[in-house]
Amino acid sequence: MRTLTATNQRVQFYLTYTTERPTTTAKRSRLNALRSSLEERNIMLDEAFPNKQRDVLDHILYITSAAGIAKVGADKLAERCGVSVRTVTSAVRALKETGEYIVARLIKSRGGAGKYIFVDKKHDNFREIMREVFSLSDYKLAQLNAEPIAEQKEAQSVGAVSVDSEKQSPNLNISFISKQVKDKYISGVANAVKEEIEKESTPSREYVLEYASNSFQIALYDVLNEMPYHKSIKAVRHVLALRIGSDCDAKRFSKAKDIVHSIAMQLAEGYVFENIVAAFSAALEKAVQYDVVAPIPSDKRPIETSKVPFYDWLKERD
């Protein structure tokens, strides 16, 4: 499985707007859950994380106990735990092999691997993190073998709501509504942050290379850069390339090209688009959902050039 990547802006945004804070109690609870899970597979925790590797594990579990996600460099992790970078690498490898944590990387503008990104698969925020930070849909999560864990958690939640607990349904509904409000707020702010970053960007291949986490994003930029499209498309070609998503495949890539070409044809015919990026994103979402490339409505119809004869209705006619 390929290593997931994300930009520092996305991870930092999610951490900034998370109200929870790490606690030793939450860390201890997660450690016990991990120990039980390993023992069910006849693996002892001390054997999987011997000596100083256990200190590294404790720290990772602590920093992810709040939001379910954390970012830290190998050197900084080694410094905090008083171990070597090699010990950190071994501990991270062992953690990844447990199957209960995703070990991703921050995207760097220049060569080399970025900081570690640790994501707890059993945390309540897991789906939200994968959607907001890594732009992964539920379908892609299933491919990452995350779906069984989520289904198990949902089954436990359903089983916990027994007849005796029906009296508590108002509180459960309030919690559910609060979660929806939080999700909507985070999503809205995330989009605002993303738009601000896009406004300050330049339509260069370097920008795409810095933020892209999928080869199809770079390929789309190259296509848009080479085609003789309208200047309004050229001005946002870097944004359009990234908008196809880090989970883009060959099918979506083909749809994206068709949509841009359709927009270009309408521009050539005199149609006007108030926001090409928004029109492209909406059309791509519909194309992926319905498996077709739907017509893209522009904001205005072409201006008619033919003149209509003027009729003076105040003047009497024979």
CA dist 218 to 208, 214, 225, Å? 6, 7, 11
Integer Cα distance of 24 and 40 in angstroms: 24
Which domains occur in the chain, in start order?
5-145 (1.10.10.10), 189-318 (no CATH)
Q: How far is CA 114 from the centre of its chain?
A: 18
Model confidence, pTM: 0.48
Among 109-118, 238-247, 248-257, 289-298, where is mean pLDDT lowest? 289-298
β-pair type (101-106, 5-6): parallel
Contacts of 147 (CB under 8 A, 6+ apart): 138, 141
pLDDT one-digit tens code per residue, 144-177: 554 443 333 443 433 333 334 334 434 444 444 4
Residue 49 has pLDDT above 60, yes or no: yes
Tell me the sheet residues that pair with 72: 116
pLDDT one-digit tens code per residue, 248-302: 888 899 999 999 998 998 888 888 888 898 889 888 888 887 655 555 555 555 5
Mean predicted confidence (pLDDT) in 34-52? 93
Residue 125 has pLDDT above 70, yes or no: yes
The DSSP result for 197-222, as a single string, is HHHT--S-HHHHHHH--SHHHHHHHH
| Per-residue model confidence (pLDDT) at position 135 | 83
Contact 105, 112 (CB under 8 A): no
